[in-house]
Structure 1
Amino acid sequence: MDVHVILRRDDQILLCLREGTGYADGLFCLPSGHLDVGETVIDCAIREAREEVGVLIDPDALQPAAVVHHLSPEGKPRVGFFFAATTWGGEVVNAEPNKCAKLEWVPVDMLPDNTVPYTAAGVALYLADAVVGVHGWHETATA
């Protein structure tokens, strides 16, 4: 399982440009990561935001944004939980420069062309107020 955090500031969201990870390098994504053993999706979102962009999010400030059932181009299924936050503690910084070339605030409805498609699918569901969607499968559906 993956957990993604949409940090929203007015009409912008924060994206991280991946670098040196071996997966989707050169593409933008949200602060995100894999769920650790024994960790809740809420705890994971808080941890990933702290580790990747240096902010502290109160659990009550996280709002469920979307769930994406993703099928990678290699045929590997994943489930991603997307959360949104408009308030947090601390200043946004690139806390993992060995994995992230830069951070960029972008309009939420105009993601760069080089955004990870899985990320873009989650943000699109969030903007559409959809709860669950699929990405990478033959059919696309939302609920």
Structure 2
Amino acid sequence: MANSEAAEPCRGFWADTARILDGYLAEVPTHLLVMKIAEEVGEVVEAYLGMTGGNPRKGVHKTTEDVLDELADVILSAAVPMVDLAGGPEEAGRHMARRLGVVSAREVAEVAAVSANGWHGSFIAPHVLLRREDGTVLMLRRYNTGYRDGWLCPPAGRIEPGEDVLAAAIREAGEETGVTLRRDDAVFSHVMHRTAASLPGPCQAVSDYWFTFDRWVGEPHAAEPDKASEALWIDPAAPPADLIPYCAQALAAIGRGEAFSVRGWAEER
């Protein structure tokens, strides 16, 4: 077997972690062992960007195996100071077992509580269309987000505590494009209820609320370059092929004057 494929003999996860601690990391102080976790998390992000092509300059240059390796390194980097702080591998293993029980019980309790009262919610995502006099609307090219990077979508996001959906839409548009919007200028345009296996919650569903603004203060641009690489104006009646599909469907529905649509449901007509 080649050296690159060789594996250390397995004595059990925590025993092997203790061997690492007592081996080449023996002289490393505890605070540096803890700080190393942050370094390893950064390497996971770098590998994931490399796998998804999130850095346009480098393109796709990593594999799923590379990401899995880095994730494993994060787990090991956290386990090493756990053994150190807990006082040994057995103690660290017992602490992990207790913590796993707490977390798993919390998740089960949350699902049970939702099921008991019969309510299952969909998340709400505000979307904003900034529309110029020529009818074109502003889109942002996603970058470094982990979802549909390289694709186009309008300013959009999530609702924060204390916000209604329109307040969230105005805030998100301001953060992402640098403009100032007024509630009185908002025109409700559409709501889409969509589902997909990748969406969160028990329903795996999101309700997208679309608002159109013909007036704003400021020059729209990609105000968060770490999340969007460019801003451009498109014709909503002839959107480019790299517009995220559910957004293209919503634009088409808005163009037909339809206030509501669904996407992804089994009984969709």
TM-score (norm. length: structure 2): 0.50
Aligned to 1:74: 198
Alpha-carbon distance between aligned partners in 2 of 1:69 and 1:125, rounded to the nearest angstrom: 13
The answer on 1:125 being equivalent to 2:253 is yes
TM-score (norm. length: structure 1): 0.93
Q: Residue 167 of structure 2 is aligned with which of 22, 43, 47? A: 43
**What pairs with 1:1-143 in structure 2 (closer than 5 Å)?**
1-9=124-132, 10-74=134-198, 76-140=204-268
Taking every aligned residue pair, what percent have the same amino acid on both sides?
35
- Residue 221 of structure 2 contacts residue 230 of structure 2 at CA under 8 Å; is this kept in 1? no
Alpha-carbon distance between aligned partners in 1 of 2:183 and 2:217, rounded to the nearest angstrom: 12
Structure 1 range deviating more: 121-130 or 16-25: 121-130
Q: What displacement does 1:139 show?
A: 4.6
Structure 1 range deviating more: 31-40 or 116-125: 116-125
SS in 2 for 1:5: strand
- Residue type of the alignment partner of 2:169: A
Kindly provide the CA deviation profile for residues 83-114 of structure 1, in whole angstroms up to 9, marking residues without a partner as x.
00111011112110000011110111111111
- Residue type of the alignment partner of 1:36: E
Structure 1 range deviating more: 117-126 or 2-11: 117-126
SS in 1 for 2:247: helix
Alpha-carbon distance between aligned partners in 2 of 1:64 and 1:140, rounded to the nearest angstrom: 23
Q: What displacement does 1:74 show?
A: 3.0
Q: What displacement does 1:64 show?
A: 0.2
Kindly provide the CA deviation profile for residues 28-47 of structure 1, in whole angstroms up to 9, marking residues without a partner as x.
00000011122011101110
SS in 1 for 2:215: coil
Question: Over alpha carbons, which structure has the higher Rg?
Answer: 2
Aligned residue-pair number: 141
* Alignment RMSD (CA, Å): 1.3
Higher strand share: 1
Higher helix share: 2
Q: What displacement does 1:73 show?
A: 4.8
Alpha-carbon distance between aligned partners in 1 of 2:137 and 2:229, rounded to the nearest angstrom: 17
- Residue type of the alignment partner of 2:142: R
- Structure 1 stretches of at least 4 aligned residues deviating more than 4 Å after TM superposition: none
